Structure 1
Amino acid sequence: MWFSEAMTNASALKRQRASDLTARFGWRYLLGALRTMVPVSSMTDGVEVAAVAVAACGADVSSLRVDLRPTHVDLTLYPPSITAVTAVEARLAGTITEALDRGGWTTTMEGPRSVQITELAIDASDRDAIRPFWKAALGYVDEPTPSGQVNAIVDPLWQGPAIWFQTMDPPRTDRNRIHFDICVPHDEAERRVAAALAAGGRLVSDAAAPRFWILADAEGNEACVTTWQGRD
């Protein structure tokens, strides 16, 4: 069998291990989740893909999220209780790919763009003071973490971006206080950064790359292109 780790191990995998186990199946590790894309010819075709993926997960189907579109199906594997990929999700990635392959479908990171996860970061002098407002206004819930320490809030329906709160030290008044984090596959990041710079952006800092690059548009509004690398 391709997967040699404990099949029911629900402890968090190291980021490098999660990536190594699943990349050859066309999945990419993205900060606590595994994602892939399946090209389809129609919504009907997509429904069949979703059904095959659900069946392949069996009793562990609660780890699967499906986004069905006329041209592709996005599949995400995300543990239901913690924000870290476990051996369960890594095993499911291979199992789903093998089941889809038998039906003539392919799991890939390529499509209209690469798979990605978008987060919104809010700078705060006191992040605990503003979290409740954003949680209530958006109808979000606390993001579960392995440590139990809460910072980010997430959409319980998995439709909006996660929001996390960054303490300013020292406080800043000369720049925007909200920025996007675009988490992309580690082998896509440099292309995405280059494309943003070619489109009129500027590089603010690459000191933390490949963990993240800080970019800005022509008016100074910032965005970070991030990967899982450099975080262990």
Structure 2
Amino acid sequence: MVDMTEDAQTISSKQFHDAAGVADWRVVSSGVQAVFRASSLRHAASLVEPASAAAEEHGILPDIDVRPEAVVVRVPLWATGGIAPAAPLFAAAVSQAAGRLGLRADPTAVQSLSIYVAQHSEADVRPFFLAVLGYDPVGETDAVDPLRIAPDLAFNPLTGDRPKRGRTHLDVFVPASDAQGRVDAALAAGGRLVDDSQAPAYWSIASPDNHGVDIASWLDTDG
């Protein structure tokens, strides 16, 4: 059961998934997210009003991304530092509305993208990226697009690395049920497995030209 006591600030991914009516939803780095397939832009937009009403009822501030082929609804993690206790109630209400409107949930389309910027231990490149991208700082090491459209950034110092050598890699967050399939597809497309010691939380793989990518599902299963 989800802890709905007044002093509960956040809930875990497991608590979210254990709630009723949330089978359409997954947890990725951008938040609790669902994708509902639509037949047209008008069809996708039909979910905005009931989703807005559910958000107001449950005190949630969701992001709603309307496209001709789908509508994406997410509850961002940044505002509360985790999953809001009311998120399951909101998610269930949105799913019910989507069902009435003939919008089909597609959990396989859920994903989010993070860019990890490796920097020398004596460098601090976050101010540069905040300025050049117009991002907002989050905590001591991260940065986000104020409108939560573009990928978020995390800055990781590498002790002992060579100065003036910037490096980045991608973290692709996907539902736990789809992670192995995404890894298999990447390897079949010429990728190389670098490290699977943390699987199924995440796999580190490399492109044919050695670009680093982590395929991560741990947020969707975090207890």
Q: What interval of TM-score do these two structures reach, taking the shorter chain for normalisation?
A: 0.7 to 0.9
Match among 102, 123, 131 for residue 104 of structure 1: 102
1:95-139 Cα shifts (integer Å, max 9, x gaps)? 1112222333333313xxx21010000111237621111111110
Unaligned runs of 5+ residues in structure 2 are: none
Compute the displacement of 1:25 (Å).
Answer: 2.6
Say which SS state the counterpart of residue 214 (structure 1) adopts: strand
After TM superposition, the score normalised by the length of structure 2 is: 0.87
SS of 1:122's equivalent? strand
Distance 1:176 1:81, change over 3 A: closer
User: Which portions of structure 1, spanning 4 or more consecutive aligned residues, are displaced by more than 6 angstroms?
Assistant: none
Selected match of 1:122 from 104, 108, 117: 117
1:165-199 deviation per Cα after TM superposition (whole angstroms, max 9, x unaligned): 112133168x9711110000011100000000000
Superposed counterparts of 1:166-185, under 5 Å: 166-171=156-161, 177-185=167-175
1:162 and 2:145 are equivalent in the alignment = no
Shift of 1:61: 6.1
1:75 offset after TM fit, Å?
A: 0.9
Provide the alpha-carbon RMSD of the alignment: 2.6
The answer for the alignment partner of 1:135 in structure 2 is 130
Residue 41 of structure 1 aligns to a residue whose secondary structure is coil
Identical aligned residues as a percent: 26
Distance in 2, matches of 1:166 and 1:55, equals 40
Query: Does residue 225 of the first structure (1) align with residue 215 of the second (2)?
Result: yes
- Cα gap change, 1:71 to 1:169, in 2 (>3 Å): same
Shift of 1:209: 1.4
Residue 193 of structure 1: aligned partner:
183
User: Unaligned regions of 5+ residues in structure 1, if any?
Assistant: 144-148
Higher strand content, 1 or 2: 2
Q: Give the Cα–Cα distance (whole angstroms) in 2 for the partners of residues 127 and 155 of structure 1.
A: 25
Is residue 13 from structure 1 mapped to residue 11 from structure 2 by the alignment? Answer: yes
